[in-house]
C-alpha cells in the first residue's frame, strides 16, 4: 500500500475505536454512579416513557395509602365518640326506667330529669366537639338522602320507611321494578346498577305482615328498608312492582369522600356518610323526650331504645368501613411493591453487567491508546527511514 503523510489511516482507525470506547466508558460511569440504566431519554426513549408512567402511578398509590390511613383515623375518631354517646344513652335508659315506676315521687323525678337533661346536652356537646382536622363529624358528614326523594314521599304505596347510605356517591338513583311476580328489584344511577332478589324474604309478592326487610344494594352503598302491613311508623306496605320508576336522590354533603386510589374513577373513592347524631337531630330525636312524669318516662323508653339501636348501627357501619380501609391499605401496598418491581426492571442498572462492560471497555480503551501511539510512531519511522535511505 502507498505511504502517505497527510492522513494516517491506522491512527484514524485507532482514534475512532478509542472515541467509541470513551463514550461507552462515560455511559458506564454514569450508570454505576446513579444506579440507573436510563438517565436521559436517549438512553431508552420508550423505556423512559413507560418508567415515568409507572413512577406517577407509584406516587399516586403511596399518597392513596396515606389517605386511607388518615381516613381510618377519622372514622375511628367518630366511632370512639359514638362509644361515649352509647354509654350516655344506656344511662338515660336507666333513668327513664327508674322514673317509670310508682315507687318514686314527682319530686324524685325532678331530680332524675335534671340529670337526664344534662346527659342529653352532653350528647349534643360530644357531637359538636368531635372533629378531625377542623371538620365536625357527628352533625352530618358526607352525602345524605334528599327527603324529597320520590321513594320516600310515596312511602304509602312503596312501603319504604328508611333509606341509609354506606358509601354511596351523590346522584340520582332510579328503581326498576317492572314485574310483580319475579321478586327482583334493580337500582342504578345510569352507570352502575345492581339487582337484588327478594323472593326468599317475601310472603308471596309482599313483605310479611308486621315485619320489615332491608334491600342492601351494597355495590351502590344504598340500603332501603321495606315494610309489610301493620308496621309501626309505616304508612304503606311494599308490594313487588311498586318501586318501579321511583327515585333516590343523594345530595353531596360536606366531606366524606376519601381518595383511596391513584386515578380519577369512582372505584378509587370511598364515600362515608355519618348522619346528624345530636340528641336534637333527626336520627336520635331525643329533644322532646322527658322523664318528668311516669307516663313520659315510660314513653321515653321506646325513644331511647331506638336511639341506642341507631347509634349501634352507625358504629357497626363505621367499623365495617375501618375494616374495608385496612384491606384497601394492604392492596395498595401490594400494588406499590409490584409496580415498583416493574419500574425497577426498566429503569435500574444491572450493576454486574455494567461492571463487566466497563472492565471490557477499559481494556479496549487502553489497547486503542496503545495502538494509536504505535500507529503514529510507525508512520514517523517509515518516513524517516525512507528519507534517510534517499539521502544516503
Which of 227, 260, 279, 291 shows the shortest CA–CA distance to 99? 291
Which of 11-25, 48-62, 218-232 is the least confident region?
Answer: 11-25
Tell me the C-alpha distance between 7 and 375, whole Å.
11
Q: Which DSSP category does 41 fall into?
A: G
Four-point Cα dihedral 87, 223, 267, 252, nearest 10: -80
pLDDT band at 379 (very low <50, low <70, confident <90, very high): low
Does residue 179 contact residue 241 with C-beta atoms inside 8 Å? yes
Give the per-residue pLDDT at 336: 94
Tell me the C-alpha distance between 123 and 310, whole Å.
14
Asked if the model's pLDDT at residue 2 lies above 70, the reply is no
Does residue 289 contact residue 300 with C-beta atoms inside 8 Å? yes
pLDDT band at 390 (very low <50, low <70, confident <90, very high): low
The structure's pTM equals 0.75
- Average pLDDT of the residues in 183-189: 89
DSSP calls for 10-26 = HHHHHHHHHHHHHHHHH
Q: How many CB atoms lie within 10 A of CB 205?
A: 17
Reported as a single tens digit per residue, the pLDDT across 49-84 is 998 899 999 999 999 999 999 999 999 999 999 999
Q: How far apart are the first and last CA of the chain?
A: 24
Tell me the C-alpha distance between 270 and 261, whole Å.
9
Reported as a single tens digit per residue, the pLDDT across 94-131 is 999 999 999 998 899 999 999 999 999 999 999 999 99
Amino acid at each position: 500500500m502507498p505511504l502517505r503523510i497527510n492522513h494516517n489511516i491506522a491512527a484514524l482507525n485507532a482514534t475512532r475505536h478509542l472515541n467509541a470506547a470513551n463514550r461507552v466508558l462515560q455511559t458506564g460511569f454514569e450508570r454505576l454512579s446513579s444506579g440507573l440504566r436510563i438517565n436521559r431519554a436517549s438512553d431508552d426513549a420508550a423505556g423512559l416513557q413507560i418508567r415515568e408512567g409507572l413512577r406517577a402511578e407509584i406516587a399516586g398509590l403511596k399518597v392513596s395509602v396515606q389517605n386511607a390511613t388518615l381516613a381510618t383515623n377519622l372514622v375511628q375518631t367518630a366511632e370512639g365518640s359514638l362509644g361515649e354517646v352509647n354509654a350516655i344513652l344506656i344511662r338515660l335508659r336507666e333513668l327513664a326506667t327508674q322514673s317509670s315506676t310508682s315507687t318514686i315521687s314527682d319530686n324524685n323525678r325532678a331530680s332524675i330529669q335534671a340529670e337526664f337533661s344534662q346527659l342529653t346536652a352532653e350528647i349534643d356537646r360530644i357531637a359538636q366537639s368531635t372533629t378531625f382536622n377542623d371538620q365536625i363529624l357527628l352533625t352530618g358528614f358526607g352525602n345524605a338522602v334528599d327527603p324529597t326523594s320520590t321513594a320516600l314521599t310515596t312511602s304509602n304505596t312503596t312501603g319504604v320507611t328508611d333509606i341509609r347510605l354506606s358509601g354511596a356517591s351523590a346522584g340520582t338513583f332510579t328503581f326498576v321494578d317492572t314485574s310483580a311476580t319475579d321478586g327482583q328489584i334493580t337500582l342504578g344511577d345510569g352507570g352502575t346498577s345492581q339487582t337484588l332478589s327478594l323472593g326468599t324474604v317475601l310472603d308471596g309478592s309482599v313483605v310479611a305482615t308486621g315485619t320489615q326487610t332491608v334491600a342492601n344494594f351494597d355495590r351502590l352503598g344504598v340500603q332501603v328498608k321495606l315494610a309489610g302491613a301493620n308496621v309501626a311508623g309505616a304508612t304503606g306496605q311494599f308490594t313487588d312492582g311498586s318501586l318501579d320508576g321511583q327515585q333516590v336522590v343523594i345530595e353531596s354533603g360536606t366531606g366524606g369522600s376519601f381518595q383511596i386510589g391513584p386515578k380519577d374513577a369512582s372505584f378509587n373513592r370511598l364515600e362515608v356518610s355519618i348522619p346528624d347524631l345530636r340528641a336534637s337531630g333527626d336520627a336520635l330525636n331525643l329533644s322532646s323526650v322527658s322523664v318528668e312524669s311516669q307516663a313520659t318516662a315510660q314513653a321515653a323508653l321506646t325513644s331511647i331504645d331506638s336511639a341506642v339501636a341507631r347509634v349501634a348501627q352507625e358504629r357497626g357501619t363505621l367499623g365495617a368501613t375501618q375494616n374495608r380501609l385496612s384491606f384497601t391499605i394492604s392492596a395498595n401496598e401490594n400494588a406499590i411493591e409490584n409496580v415498583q418491581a416493574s419500574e425497577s426492571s426498566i429503569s435500574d442498572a444491572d450493576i454486574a453487567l455494567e461492571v463487566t462492560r466497563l472492565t471490557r471497555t477499559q481494556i479496549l480503551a487502553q489497547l486503542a491508546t496503545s495502538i494509536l501511539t504505535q500507529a503514529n510512531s510507525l508512520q514517523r519511522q517509515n518516513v524517516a527511514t525512507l528519507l534517510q535511505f534517499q539521502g544516503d
